[in-house]
Structure 1
Amino acid sequence: MADSVKNVAVFGATGMTGLATLPQVAAAGFNATVLVRDPSQLPTDHKASRVVVGDVLNRDDVRKTLEGQDAVIIILGTRNNLSPTTVMSEGTRNILDVMKERGIRKVVACMSAFKGAPRLLPVTEDHERMYSLLKSSGLDYVAVMPPHIGEHAAGRAISKHDLGHFFVQCLSTTSWDGKTVGVWGDYTK
């Protein structure tokens, strides 16, 4: 798998976990392409090989992003906005549809493992829609479900850095393809 994956598209690269994942993608030797609405949200030393300015809800922008890509990491989020949304699932639908058009098989997607917390219900519902799309996609997906993402690992939380490390790890193996993976704590130890 690692030999066949050289170019990786990262969706959600300007979020908390995306900013921690992007340098790890580059450090592992992959060329990263990112789709961002606002390129000023990327640090000046962002390590992306290619930056596409656009929106995940615009299928043509997703097509531009996926040109020449071998795999995809989806880390779409709401920036702590807990209002009802379909942005993550509709963005995921666009990504998966264009992946199929382009013959890209590998996708690693992050979604929430929180269930039952009333204030998180609208976001959880959109993550459930994302999960359904992944499972029915026919692609080589890894559905990653951390219960909480933070700066550092604590209890059941995983650090954004460890989570990024796991995403990159998934690019180099088929061990988790077609699986839902729960992660927490300190992954790198």
Structure 2
Amino acid sequence: MKLVLAAATGATGRLVLDLALAAGHDVTALVRSPAKLPAGVPSVRTDFAHPDPAALADATAGADAVVSALGATGKGDAGVARTGTAALVEAMRANGTRRLVVLSAAPIGTVPTPQRPDKPRTDPGDGLLLRLATPIVKRALADHYRDLALMEDVVLDSGLDWTVVRPPRLTDGPAKGAWRTAAGRNPRNGWTISRADLAAAMLDAAETGVGGVVGVAY
């Protein structure tokens, strides 16, 4: 399978890269710093805060799937998920590449945007404790979540064959090799998932073609 991986040197993207290479996929990495990649991985130097649509169109041409682990790592990166994903979508439309898998977050189904102002106040998969805790997290990460919500709008309106993967709190624990999924909502009372299993879930989505919004958690 020919994969293009955006943000392949990030905390989650690097794990997706390792799994994809181990599975024998042909991977091209879109990264700001190619020197951080393992030796021999083809790459295209890309700053997703200021993307080059033509370069992205060339990089994604002929891919079976594009997988994006884009997300802000600090306040200086605010907006990168929306900006970078919009450029990826434009590039894929230009060259006819159809399959897109993106990383979002569990609370985004309740973050309103100008395009989708009437989102529910709570996710149907969240139990009482999560419903109490989520507003606190949303306030603390308001800029990050707004960026992801706007990014989701770009994907949902793209016309591509897309999957949005929404995990809860991420840990650096070892892979368990098993997780729960739920279509269009969060898994019931899903508090955490390791980045290792999140990466596996994202690669699985690219390989199997499962579409829509997918909540993942233990």
The residue that corresponds to 2:203 in the other structure is 168
The residue that corresponds to 1:18 in the other structure is 13
Please point out which of 179, 189, 194 is paired with 1:159.
Answer: 194
The answer to whether the Cα contact below 8 Å between 1:112 and 1:127 also exists between their aligned partners in 2 is: yes
Deviation track 1:38-74 (CA, whole Å, cap 9, x = no partner) reads 1222244xx63x1111223222331232133221001
The residue that corresponds to 1:126 in the other structure is 147
The answer to whether the Cα contact below 8 Å between 2:54 and 2:91 also exists between their aligned partners in 1 is: no
Deviation track 1:85-130 (CA, whole Å, cap 9, x = no partner) reads 2211011000011111111111110012235321201010010011
| The 10-residue stretch of structure 1 (106-115 or 150-159) with the greater mean CA deviation from structure 2 | 150-159
Question: Residues 133-144 of structure 1 correspond to what in structure 2 (within 5 A)?
Answer: 133-144=154-165
Change (3 A) 1:63 1:55: farther
The answer to whether the Cα contact below 8 Å between 1:28 and 1:168 also exists between their aligned partners in 2 is: no
In structure 2, runs of 5+ residues without a counterpart are 108-133, 177-189
Kindly provide the amino acid, as one letter, of the partner of residue 24 in structure 1.
L
TM-score of the two chains, using structure 2 as the length reference: 0.73
| 1:54 pairs with 2:75 | no
Deviation track 1:2-39 (CA, whole Å, cap 9, x = no partner) reads xxxx2110001111001111011112221010111112
The residue that corresponds to 1:3 in the other structure is none
In structure 1, runs of 5+ residues without a counterpart are 1-5
Q: CA RMSD in A?
A: 2.0
Please point out which of 151, 168, 179 is paired with 1:147.
Answer: 168
The residue that corresponds to 2:106 in the other structure is 113
| The 10-residue stretch of structure 1 (118-127 or 59-68) with the greater mean CA deviation from structure 2 | 59-68
Kindly provide the amino acid, as one letter, of the partner of residue 67 in structure 2.
I
2:4 match: secondary structure: strand
TM-score of the two chains, using structure 1 as the length reference: 0.84
- 2:46 and 2:215 map into 1 onto residues whose CA distance is 31
- 1:68 and 1:106 map into 2 onto residues whose CA distance is 11
Change (3 A) 1:25 1:163: same
